[in-house]
Chain A
Amino acid sequence: VNLPPERDLPPAAHTALRERVVAEVGAPPRRRWVPLAAAAAALAVVGGSAVAVGRDRGPDRAPAVTGAPAAPCRADVGRPEVGVTFDDDFGSLVLRAGPRGDIVCAVSPDGAVTLRESAGNGQFSAEPLGREAAALNAFVYGSGGAVGDDGQRLAGLMAAGYVRADVARVVVAWPGWAAVDAAIDGPLYVARVVQPVGTIPPGLLAGTATAYDRDGQELGSVPLTHQAGTDPVTRHRCAAADATATGSGLLARFTDAHGVVVWVGDAKDSTLCEFDERDGVVSEGQLGTMDPAGYLPGRRAAVQPRSWGNGELGPGGPATRHAAGQVRRGVTRLVITWAGAPPVTVPVKGPYWVARVVLPAGDHPVQTPAEVLAYDAAGTLVGRDQILG
């Protein structure tokens, strides 16, 4: 190929660009987090700090433990309530749990809540571990994405669960990638780690949470299996996809005034990716991993929701609800009504569908049921189902 010859930067441009990048060296770090969307029944994680890679016993720094949950993350989770806060360079991750439910919030260093989400779908309401139980468990293993104002894509992983009373330290590790000391407060622990997407080794799916006593003796460990939500591999998929995704990898697309949601993947493993425009920032994220194969059993219902999730269009921005699923042949239109929101009409072309509703900013319920109605081309109602949390 006969390429044009190489050229120098024009002198004026060279000077201007040089001054700009040199000035950056002395500038304070800037980072603006854009939480994307949470995984169904799990959560997204925004912000965080990554530490040493490949250490068996985790990093040496002391766990970041604070007492009172952050005020912005208040929710009616019932009494008695337990909470734990993980602090890092980019803010806090707050987990609160009680008999009625649980909630996790990401709080930026300036106090803004950038994520507010159900964490374990009620699992944290279970009783804390007794004296004879295993040293720890892992109720949540979620992940999500964020972008800084420089466009750098970051991916976060989180783990949380209960610990026995004699546990003094929990190290959450993804072998070959990162390890971090969890914060422990009472019966709960929580940890998160965020790294640039490109650092995630292919195939990294599971980590380990290991508990130690005050003397450093290992008390036990649990695998962080992919319970719900996204895994690092799906993050790669969204990073590679864009709003114009086409071809066999595209299962469904939904467009509204705020942007585009695409469902990409294959029959065994798929991902929802969100592309939004807000204040000029395009955000991307994963909503969850779904297995669209074989979930229309026996009688093949006209419509069946497969997954749902909550999110926000940027920090403090409008709240979102997402759902995705499958329809029987002949269904051409869905109407989905989330509680308290106007109906959303979804044209359906294939067996898969995805939809989103955008709600005003502010506190929103941890879980929201919705109803989905299926119509054929003649406008006849042919099926209905509920989207449950």
Chain B
Amino acid sequence: MPGQRPCPVFRQHDRRVRTLLDVESDASLWEQAGAGSGAAFGVLFDRHSRAVYNHCFRLTASWATAEDLTSATFLLAWRQRGRMRLVNASMRPWLLAVATNAVRSERRSLARRLRLAERVPADRPAADHADDVAGRVDDERRMAAVLAELHTLAPAEQEAVALCLWSGLSYAEAADALGIAEVSVRSRVSRARAKLRAALAPTFAEEQS
């Protein structure tokens, strides 16, 4: 409504959030969240949800599923907060590792949910006009094609590719987040690269022609 001024309480809240977002480290926010600060946890969500969302999409080829998994990742992260480990002062590597596990669980329960879905009428999806729906559909088709090749790799190699090559974690960060040796991550990525290169070569040649 024109002329209406925001409630002072909300302005104060906004300022607090902005301060947290700009200044506070992940460790500090996590500590505040552990003390019961929803605002601090919200800032962590704002800071890392995009990375988690895109990581989940790359592992599922579904933006809708990625939304669910983003939520699940942060809920799991909170419930597993005793296991949280900062890597280079950032929660992101650990969150991506949690997201990877969430995707794995999602795959396991997929068949069960599909059976359930057969019995439950689907809600009509609400269109989000601000969003590029067609672009997202194209994304999903393209990602599904990539995943078809990725799934020929061993699960550990798939995770290494998603974390290091797609989500930009260093080998050391991925190793810390997964709780394994850095050399193991390197070796998985190396093996995956070789396999993917061989598998995708014909596809690239076709696209270029």
Contact = CB atoms under 8 A, between A and B. Distances in A.
Contacts of A23: 38
A242 B33 CA distance: 35
B108 A3 contact: no
Contact of A9 (B39, B49, B155, B200): B49
Nearest to B180: A202
A262 B109 CA distance: 17
B78 A25 contact: yes
A17 B45 contact: yes
Q: Tell me the dominant secondary structure on chain B's binding face.
A: helix
B108 A199 contact: no
Contact of B83 (A7, A24, A26, A199): A199
Q: Which bracket fits the contact residues of A?
A: 35 or more
A7 B63 contact: yes
B105 A4 contact: no
A50 to B, nearest CB: 9
Interface in B154-169: 155, 165-166
Contacts of A26: 36, 38
A277 interface: yes
Interface string A245-288: 00000000000000000000000000000000100101000000
Contacts of A8: 50, 53
Contacts of B196: 1
A13 B127 CA distance: 12
Interface string B140-184: 001100100000000100000000011000000000000100000
Contact of A25 (B33, B46, B83, B116): B33
A349 interface: no
Interface of A: 1-14, 17-18, 20-26, 29, 148, 150-152, 196, 198-199, 240, 242, 277, 280, 282
Given A4-B139, A282-B109, 15 more contacts: A1-B200, A4-B143, A6-B50, A7-B63, A7-B139, A8-B53, A13-B67, A14-B49, A18-B46, A20-B75, A22-B42, A25-B37, A151-B102, A198-B101, A199-B179
